[in-house]
């Protein structure tokens, strides 16, 4: 799938979902209005899962509920529609992707909202943030 030629994807990070690569340029308000509230609602749960996994709990992800997964999908979809405005949620759902890819995409989208400040030095052109 090719990105919208009206959107500047030069230097934009790329996410891999189901073996397909997608540019994620800085989000416009159209995407941010979905992505930012979604990320803010997801962060406590994702941080709790990460803490459990870091503590050796192999079932840390058991904290996720269906609504959380749906919200993750909504955030990723919103982030992708900046460069791919015709990319549907149904197309995203049909990608053969795993949760590791979904979480990685969330991290990139979080950076591209501009809401999260860099937490460490990063190479030029590559913001360092955590979610």
| Residue-number span of the structural domain to which 30 is assigned | 14-113
- Does 42 reside within a domain? yes
Is the pLDDT at 50 greater than 60? The verdict is yes
Over its C-alpha atoms, the chain yields an Rg (Å, rounded) of: 15
What is the per-residue pLDDT across 89-126, written as a single tens digit (0 to 9) for each? 999 999 999 988 999 999 999 999 988 766 554 455 55
**pTM summary value:** 0.85
How many separate domains does the chain show? Answer: 1
- Does 25 reside within a domain? yes
* Mean pLDDT, the chain, whole residue set: 89
């Amino acid at each position: 799938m090719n990105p919208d030629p009206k959107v500047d994807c030069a230097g934009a990070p790329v996410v891999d979902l189901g073996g397909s690569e997608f540019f994620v340029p800085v989000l416009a308000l159209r995407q941010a209005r979905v992505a930012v509230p979604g990320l803010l609602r997801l962060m406590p749960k994702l941080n709790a899962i990460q803490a459990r996994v870091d503590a050796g709990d192999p079932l840390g992800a058991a904290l996720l509920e269906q609504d959380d997964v749906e919200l993750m999908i909504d955030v990723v979809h919103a982030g992708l529609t900046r460069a791919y405005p015709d990319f549907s949620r149904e197309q995203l759902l049909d990608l053969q992707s795993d949760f590791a890819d979904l979480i990685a995409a969330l991290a990139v989208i979080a950076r591209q909202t501009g809401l999260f400040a860099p937490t460490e030095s990063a190479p030029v052109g590559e913001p360092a943030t955590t979610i």
